[in-house]
């Protein structure tokens, strides 16, 4: 059995990856502009931290490693501003959000790299449907055994991350009635899901991956589309369930939440076997209903996810005080209590402007200026409930849709 080396990292360090939408400024559909944007940034100091993704309408921002989320936020704001300047030069806009509200997967163009071309050949249309946008959070750990323990410890809190970050209520012109529909695309891949409960240390993880290799099911850790997985070359545990938030501030608040939670679960006993009983149901509830979903605790108690999150944040505040991040967690708590998640905000914007392209425009402005800086000038018509149907929620979405086109230390230095 081949051993998998694990690069030790300082505990409680963190970094993030943000997958972002490239938007055509005339139609507000996705624009296949990643090659042009990368060329525009080629001589900039952040060039090696801006990466292509599987389709050419996506771009990925990778942070460096931070001990404190405020340093992370300062860096990500600078990267956002630089990316927006480059996007202006290329003639596109940039947006957060877990899915584009009315893009057609058939129109997506696969980025020209060996791995992405392989995925397109292997998975067919799923590769183009994988034009969804997530935030990955990396947490530093010292060893492989610690990585496996943390992966288990964080797993009961997957629904909390889903609900807090949810920003993908629309898909292909339809209100899906989900807070997060992005993970339905991720879950289509055969090795999605969670770490097997019997993989309880690094040796068993190596044995599990060796078995997958021997049967031709996987070649490397990259093929494991788990909700949370170890990242041995970085020396991290990677949380992969978050939608990309609409703002840098929310993304960094989620990172602060993850950092404090990692400290808490390292002090708590490992979750028992019952923690996996409701895993899929909890996952669905968070995707479908967001913060208002039901949640079954590892102890078997059924409650509303929002209530469990409120109690969890109260438990986390002393840890956040130790880490110096209490202000960020308090801001996250207050914003969630006041306005819910980004999916709720997106629906409120749609109910005001009544057209998905105009709502996407507000998303691009939120990315540049924050949600509070977005002003919608159009008067609001009477509110109505949108139901998911086979018809787009705005008649002219398809007419507006345009073709895909546009006018160190490894982990310590950057995330790839």
- Please say whether the beta carbons of 127 and 54 come within 8 A: yes
35 closest CA partner among 106, 103, 112: 112
pLDDT in tens, 238-263: 999 999 999 999 999 999 999 999 99
- Please say whether the beta carbons of 95 and 40 come within 8 A: no
CA distance 406 to 86: 14
pLDDT in tens, 178-223: 999 999 999 988 899 999 999 999 999 999 999 999 999 998 998 9
CA distance 406 to 90: 8
Angle at 34 between CA 188 and CA 85, to 5 degrees: 130
pTM for this model (two decimals): 0.89
% of the chain surpassing 70 pLDDT: 89
3-state secondary structure 22-83: EECCCCCCECCCHHHHHHHCCCCCCHHHEEECCECCEEEEECCCECCHHHHHHHHHHHHHHH
Number of C-alpha atoms within 13 angstroms, CB side, residue 148?
A: 16
pLDDT in tens, 375-391: 544 434 443 443 444 34
% of the chain surpassing 90 pLDDT: 75
Strands 225-226 vs 192-193: parallel, antiparallel or unpaired: parallel
Task: Please enumerate in sequence order all residues whose Cβ is within 8 A of that of 142, keeping only pairs 6 or more positions apart, or say none.
Answer: 8, 9, 10, 11, 235
User: In tens digits, what is the pLDDT along the chain, a chain of 416 residues?
Assistant: 689 999 999 999 999 999 999 999 999 999 999 999 999 999 999 999 999 898 999 999 999 999 999 999 999 999 999 999 999 999 999 999 999 999 998 888 888 888 888 888 888 888 888 899 999 999 999 999 999 999 999 999 999 999 999 999 999 999 999 999 999 999 988 899 999 999 999 999 999 999 999 999 998 998 999 999 999 999 999 999 999 999 999 999 999 999 999 999 999 988 888 889 999 999 999 999 999 999 999 999 999 999 999 999 999 999 999 999 999 999 999 988 887 899 999 999 999 999 999 999 999 999 998 776 665 444 344 434 434 443 444 434 333 333 344 433 333 343 33
Fold of 13-369: Creatine Kinase; Chain A, domain 2 (3.30.590)
pLDDT score, position 389: 41
């Amino acid at each position: 059995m081949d051993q998998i080396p694990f690069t030790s990292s300082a505990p409680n360090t963190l970094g993030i990856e943000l997958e972002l939408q490239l938007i055509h400024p005339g139609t507000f559909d996705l624009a296949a502009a990643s090659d042009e944007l990368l060329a525009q940034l080629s001589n900039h100091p952040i060039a090696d931290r801006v990466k292509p993704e599987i389709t050419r309408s996506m771009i990925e921002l990778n942070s460096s490693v931070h001990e404190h989320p405020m340093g992370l936020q300062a860096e990500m704001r600078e990267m956002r501003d630089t990316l927006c300047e480059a996007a202006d030069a290329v003639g596109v806009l940039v947006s957060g959000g877990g899915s584009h509200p009315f893009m057609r997967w058939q129109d997506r163009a696969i980025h020209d790299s060996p791995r992405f071309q392989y995925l397109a050949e292997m998975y067919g249309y799923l590769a183009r449907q994988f034009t969804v946008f997530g935030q990955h959070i990396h947490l530093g750990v010292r060893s492989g055994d610690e990585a496996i323990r943390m992966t288990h410890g964080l797993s009961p809190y997957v629904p909390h991350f889903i609900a807090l970050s949810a920003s993908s209520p629309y898909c292909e012109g339809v209100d899906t009635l989900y807070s997060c529909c992005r993970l339905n695309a991720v879950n289509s891949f055969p090795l999605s899901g969670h770490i097997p409960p019997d993989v309880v240390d690094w040796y068993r993880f190596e044995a599990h991956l060796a078995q997958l290799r021997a049967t031709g099911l996987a070649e490397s850790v990259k093929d494991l589309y788990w909700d949370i997985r170890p990242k041995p070359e970085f020396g991290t545990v990677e949380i992969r369930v978050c939608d990309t938030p609409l703002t840098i501030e929310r993304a960094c608040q989620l990172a602060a939440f993850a950092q404090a939670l990692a400290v808490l679960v390292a002090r708590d006993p490992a979750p028992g076997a019952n923690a996996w009983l409701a895993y899929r149901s909890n996952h669905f509830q968070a995707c479908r209903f967001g913060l208002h979903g039901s949640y079954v605790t590892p102890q078997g108690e059924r409650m509303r996810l929002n209530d469990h999150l409120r109690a969890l944040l109260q438990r986390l505040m002393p840890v956040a005080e130790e880490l110096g991040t209490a202000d960020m967690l308090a801001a996250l708590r207050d914003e969630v209590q006041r306005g819910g998640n980004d999916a709720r905000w997106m629906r409120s914007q749609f109910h005001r402007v009544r057209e998905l392209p105009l709502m996407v425009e507000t998303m691009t402005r939120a990315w540049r200026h924050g949600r509070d800086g977005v002003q919608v000038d159009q008067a609001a018509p009477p509110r109505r409930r949108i139901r998911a149907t086979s018809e787009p929620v705005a008649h002219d979405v398809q007419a507006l849709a345009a073709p895909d086109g546009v006018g160190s230390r490894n982990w310590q230095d950057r995330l790839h």
